[in-house]
């Protein structure tokens, strides 16, 4: 039984390690932009909107900049409501603009 508990604990830690994110404080953003650590937010918004043709900046309902605690990668999260009123969560690599995920919000 002890082995089973240990196994489940290890699996849970492994699965959640990739999701450990910390919000970036707003006062840190200018320095990250200046250093080229993250891309301009307008460009990131456009990359997110491109995933859902017909959407505009008015369709963005929320944005957030996080840093993955494990990898150090900055992730820009954009919530978009499309023309059919479906909410989407788009996550981008904040340095390159590469789409990391694009999932329907439930």
pLDDT above 70 (res 53): yes
DSSP string, 48-84: HHTTSTT--GGGEEEEEEEEETTT--EEEEEEEE-TT
Contact 73, 24 (CB under 8 A): no
Integer CA distances (angstroms), 2 to 6, 8, 9, 12, 75, in order:
6, 10, 11, 15, 37
pLDDT band at 16; cut points 50, 70, 90: very low
pLDDT for the residue 22: 84
User: What pTM did the predictor assign?
Assistant: 0.78
pLDDT above 60 (res 9): no
pLDDT band at 17; cut points 50, 70, 90: very low
Contact 99, 77 (CB under 8 A): no
pLDDT above 80 (res 73): yes
**Which residue segments constitute the domains of the chain, with CATH numbers given?**
21-104 (3.10.450.40)
The distance of Cα 7 from the centroid of its chain, to the nearest Å, equals: 29
């Amino acid at each position: 039984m002890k082995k089973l508990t240990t196994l489940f604990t290890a699996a849970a830690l492994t699965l959640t390690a990739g999701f450990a994110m910390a919000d970036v404080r707003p006062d840190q953003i200018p320095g990250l932009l200046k250093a080229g650590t993250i891309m301009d937010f307008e460009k990131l918004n456009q990359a997110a909107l491109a995933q859902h043709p017909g959407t505009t900046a008015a369709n963005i309902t929320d944005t957030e900049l996080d840093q993955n605690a494990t990898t150090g990668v900055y992730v820009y999260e954009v919530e978009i409501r499309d023309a059919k009123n479906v909410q989407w969560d788009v996550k981008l690599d904040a340095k390159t603009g590469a789409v990391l995920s694009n999932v329907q919000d439930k």
